Amino acid sequence: MPLVYDQLRKVASRCLRDERADHTLRATALVNEAYLRLVDANVAWQDRVHFFAISARLLRRILVDHAKSHNRQKRGGGVTRVELDEAVMIGPDAPSGLLELDEALQRLAAHDSRKSEIVELLFFGGLTYEEAAAALKISPATLHRELVMAKAWLHRELAQGSA
């Protein structure tokens, strides 16, 4: 764990960077929750990239679960706004909530699972283009082309959702 803790902490910090100021989940708590789930996971780890790919999905799931619990009526039903980082920025005027992003990613996965995985690996996993390409067994150029299409698709979906 010491070998990957700092990297997971950086990824968690980046995921939480654009959350609201009064967000109750902190990077350390997010990493600790992920660690507890990873320890219980019965996964045959293949390599570092595989570990971070699984971690990306887990961090996303934890953040979505947290946002869902925050948005419940007894919690006030507030909307959580999350800006995507530069790796998967959909557009400067496209701030959408984590729940809306998760729903859009689920729709994208139903339409094209690899594009959804690319966004997940880059944004939630903090992987580089090269690492994400290696995890998906595609070239970095193919990853870039697919990311461009995924960003356009997500932009359209999130714009329609806010209209």
Residue 86 has what pLDDT? Answer: 39
Task: Band the pLDDT of 21: cuts 50, 70, 90.
Answer: low
pLDDT one-digit tens code per residue, 148-163:
999 989 888 888 866 5
Which stretch, 20-24, 40-44, 46-50, 138-142, has highest mean pLDDT? 138-142
Tokens of residue 63, six digits: 């953040």
Q: Number of structural domains, the chain?
A: 1
pLDDT of residue 14: 77
Q: Residue 82: in which H helix or E strand, if any?
A: strand 81-82
Closest CA to 51 of 140, 131, 141: 131
Neighbours of 52 (CB within 10 A): 22
Better-predicted residue by pLDDT, 9 or 80: 9
Alpha-carbon distance 98 to 60, whole Å? 9
Instruction: To the nearest 10°, report the CA torsion of 130, 88, 99, 161.
Output: -140
Structure tokens at 131: 């690492």
The chain-wide mean pLDDT, for the chain, equals 77
Cα-Cα-Cα-Cα torsion 110, 54, 102, 73, nearest 10 degrees, comes to 130
- Whole-number pLDDT of residue 10: 79
The pLDDT score that the predictor gives to residue 83 is 47
Determine the Cα angle at 70 with ends 86 and 111, to 5°: 50
Q: Specify the DSSP class assigned to residue 80.
A: P
On the question of pLDDT at 74 being above 60, the answer is no
> Does position 1 have pLDDT exceeding 90, yes or no?
no
**Is residue 107 scored above 70 in pLDDT?**
yes
Crossing angle for the helix pair 48-71 and 27-40, nearest 10 degrees? Answer: 120
The residue to which tokens 């039903």 are assigned: 77
Selection from 93-102, 122-131, 154-163 with the highest mean pLDDT: 122-131
**Above 60 in pLDDT, residue 88?**
no
Domain encompassing residue 59: 2-162
Q: What is the pTM of this model?
A: 0.52
